[in-house]
Amino acid sequence: MIQDATKIKAVIFDWGGVCCREGEPFASFDLQYALQMNPNQLAEKAREIYDGYYIGKYTSDSFWRTIMTHFGLMENEKINPLVLSGSYLASYEVYPEVFAIISKLRSKYKIGLLSNLTPEMRDHIRPKHETVKYFDVEVYSCDDDVKSKKPMALPYQIVLEKMKVAAKNALFIDNSFKNIEVAENLGLQTIFFKDLPQFMEEIKTIL
């Protein structure tokens, strides 16, 4: 929660679920049909590989080939690294309202991005959405100097250090309650993003 808006000097956004509708690595319907599993089931069955991707253990091609081998899938025109990647990268949708808010906030605050994201999606969104125009600092779980996912403390500590801001002077926005809890335990002020209308109302406090 926002405890003291007057102390806020930086605002840190999550990506998936806050800046956009979350992307889904296993978005391919052909993959789901071939294995008769939904995305959550696929992630659970390949948990070590899946989590490893989010901390930078795989390139796009090596991840998809490892997944195909793990599930015993032969490469074909519908199931191959390029097609599976394409389905993943097309599975999210940005929230223009949030980017408009970020543009307003930039005149008053440092703006950061702290996201659990795969190298594949990170390298896709940065040029496509020109993230450098919106965020002063970007920290991703898959970065070489991070290799750790929220809710571990390290990513929060890294983004605060890079933004040169104390925890009490930072507002963190995330759609995961567990991530919010950890942020609060570390001393950050927070907004738990439940949906767009609720967020748009709460963020007015610092506009």
**Residues 139-184 pLDDT 10s:** 999 999 999 999 999 999 999 999 999 999 999 999 999 999 999 9
Give per-residue pLDDT as tens, 101-153.
999 999 999 999 999 999 999 999 999 999 999 999 999 999 999 999 999 99
Give per-residue pLDDT as tens, 51-89.
999 999 999 999 999 999 999 999 999 999 999 999 999
Lookup: tokens for 107: 């005149």
pLDDT at residue 61, rounded to an integer: 98
DSSP-assigned states of every residue in 59-111: -HHHHHHHHHHHTTPPP-SSSSHHHHHHHHHTS-EE-HHHHHHHHHHTTTSEE
pLDDT at residue 202, rounded to an integer: 97
Block residue for tokens 């963020």: 203
- 3-class DSSP state of 139: strand
Q: What is the pTM of this model?
A: 0.96
**What are φ and ψ of residue 122, in 5° steps?**
-55, -50
Please state the domain extents for the chain: 5-22+93-206, 29-89
Percent of the chain with pLDDT over 70: 100
CATH topology of domain 5-22+93-206: Rossmann fold (3.40.50)
DSSP state at residue 143:
S
